[in-house]
Amino acid sequence: MDLQERALAFARHLHDENIIKMDDLEQLKDETYEEIVLLVRQKLQETYPQTKLKRMMKSVHFANGFQDERLKRVAIILTDEIEQYLDINKFLDHDASVEFFNNKITSGDFVINATSLVEVAFESLCICKGRNK
């Protein structure tokens, strides 16, 4: 599965869990993974305008060493902003998400590179659940 497919699966998951409304899921197939992440962030901002995000320490972010600036930006948005929206609004347990991420990237068969780390970031956020589930 590539990053665009992971981003699309993530957007679909948030929609299916009734966390955000995504009327145009089919149209997202033509978007890049970055555009999908930006749209998800926008939908979260619109749906949960009362959410106050904490400024994160970017100096210790796992994506700091990424050469691809677009991939780095997406990783930071996923783990610093979108993750906070999900956690603060009680859709995601931050500790469980971090544990999932850490377990996945330390498994014996995991190949560490920028793309695989962002793929796992998408996966770790897909453990979120809507309140009505």
Predicted confidence band at 62 (pLDDT cuts at 50, 70, 90)?
Answer: confident
pLDDT in the model for residue 9: 95
> In angstroms, rounded to a whole number, what is the distance separating the alpha carbons of residues 85 and 8?
18
> In angstroms, rounded to a whole number, what is the distance separating the alpha carbons of residues 25 and 38?
14
Q: What angle do CA 60, 75, 79 make, to 5 degrees?
A: 70
Predicted confidence band at 1 (pLDDT cuts at 50, 70, 90)?
Answer: low
pLDDT in the model for residue 60: 62
Predicted confidence band at 129 (pLDDT cuts at 50, 70, 90)?
Answer: very high
> In angstroms, rounded to a whole number, what is the distance separating the alpha carbons of residues 16 and 25?
11
pTM of the complete model: 0.91
- Please report, for residues 18, 20, 58, 118, the alpha-carbon distance to residue 131 in angstroms, rounded to integers and kept in the order given: 8, 12, 30, 26
Average pLDDT, the chain: 91
Predicted confidence band at 65 (pLDDT cuts at 50, 70, 90)?
Answer: confident
Asked whether residue 43 carries a pLDDT value surpassing 80, the answer given is yes
Choice among 29-33, 57-61, 66-70, 94-98 with the minimum mean pLDDT? 57-61
